[in-house]
């Protein structure tokens, strides 16, 4: 059984569909129950097995109840993919404390809560934990103070998971996309000037943003037997954006 957070849209949706296509039972966690229920219907319509849950990843009591229900429904947990995340922009001096706390709590604390409640089950199954970080988790990004801090924290957390729970058979890894064509990216560029999106696409050596399916491909690989010796890895899936200085 696979647990996917942020499953209602974007990367989480693509990951959930990919795991279901592999034949996994998928527990779909999202604060947007209507959205995750739609993905459940989509999976079931193609012969897959899934169950939607409306839960805030910051709510340890709620997440624990979901994990216990999913285990009763589907059996042991083999893989967990933490995709839930939000974006708020601003320099430190522009970022309100409420926005800072929100971003850190969803992106970092939410990943911690999910790991804390699922790692004991992954130790039993010798399973895999994957977290979606960001290229903003490996380098700075002007105007993204809270987001960068949260995604750097996700990488630190994943590395600790790899060290602490690798000896018990759990593989923990992080994926670091750059911009991906998702509703989050659309929202990020909504208030930007015309041509801003094209400008950022041109900063990528491959000349485009990723699709959510391309990130799901890597998540699928990391939870498969083909990646049986991959632990503590930070996968840049960014078209070369963080490889070094680049000018088109």
- pLDDT score of 6: 97
Q: Which tops the pLDDT comparison, 198 or 210?
A: 210
Domains and CATH numbers, the chain: 2-237 (3.40.50.720)
The C-alpha atoms of residue 81 and residue 111 are separated, in whole angstroms, by 9
| For residue 247, pLDDT beyond 90 | no
| For residue 189, pLDDT beyond 90 | no
Count of beta carbons in the 10 Å neighbourhood of residue 198: 8
For the chain, give the percent of residues with pLDDT over 70: 100
| For residue 13, pLDDT beyond 90 | yes
**Which tokens belong to 104?**
């850190």
The C-alpha atoms of residue 16 and residue 39 are separated, in whole angstroms, by 8
Helix, strand, coil abundance in the chain, percent, nearest 5: 50, 15, 35
pLDDT tens figures, 127-168? 999 999 999 999 999 999 999 999 999 999 999 999 999 999
For the chain, give the percent of residues with pLDDT over 90: 88
- Angle at which helices 110-125 and 60-74 pack, to 10 degrees? 30
- pLDDT score of 181: 92
The C-alpha atoms of residue 125 and residue 32 are separated, in whole angstroms, by 29
The C-alpha atoms of residue 112 and residue 96 are separated, in whole angstroms, by 23
What backbone torsions phi and psi does residue 82 show, to the nearest 5 degrees? Answer: -95, 105
The catalytic residues are: 147
pLDDT tens figures, 61-108? 999 999 999 999 998 999 999 999 999 999 999 999 999 999 999 999
- pLDDT score of 122: 98
């Amino acid at each position: 059984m696979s647990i996917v957070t942020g499953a209602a849209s974007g990367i989480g949706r693509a990951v959930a569909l990919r795991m279901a296509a592999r034949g996994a039972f998928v527990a779909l966690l999202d604060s947007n129950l209507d959205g995750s229920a739609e993905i459940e219907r989509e999976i079931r319509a193609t012969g897959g097995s899934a169950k939607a849950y409306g839960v805030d990843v910051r709510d340890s009591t709620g997440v624990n109840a979901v994990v216990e229900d999913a285990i009763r429904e589907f059996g042991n947990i083999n893989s967990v993919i933490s995709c839930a995340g939000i974006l708020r922009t601003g320099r430190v001096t522009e970022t309100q404390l409420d926005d800072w706390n929100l971003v850190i709590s969803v992106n970092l604390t939410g990943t911690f809560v999910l790991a804390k409640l699922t790692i004991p089950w992954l130790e039993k199954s010798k399973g895999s934990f994957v977290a979606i970080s960001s290229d903003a988790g490996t380098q700075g990004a002007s105007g993204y103070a809270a987001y960068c801090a949260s995604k750097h924290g996700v990488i630190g957390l994943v590395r600790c998971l790899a060290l602490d729970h690798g000896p018990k058979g759990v593989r923990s890894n992080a994926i670091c996309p750059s911009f991906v064509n998702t509703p989050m990216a659309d929202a990020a560029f909504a208030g930007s000037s015309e041509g801003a999106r094209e400008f950022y696409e041109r900063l990528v050596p491959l000349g485009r943003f990723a699709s959510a399916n391309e990130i799901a491909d890597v998540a699928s690989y990391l939870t498969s037997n083909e990646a049986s010796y991959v632990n503590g890895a930070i996968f840049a899936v960014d078209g070369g954006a963080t490889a070094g200085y680049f000018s088109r």
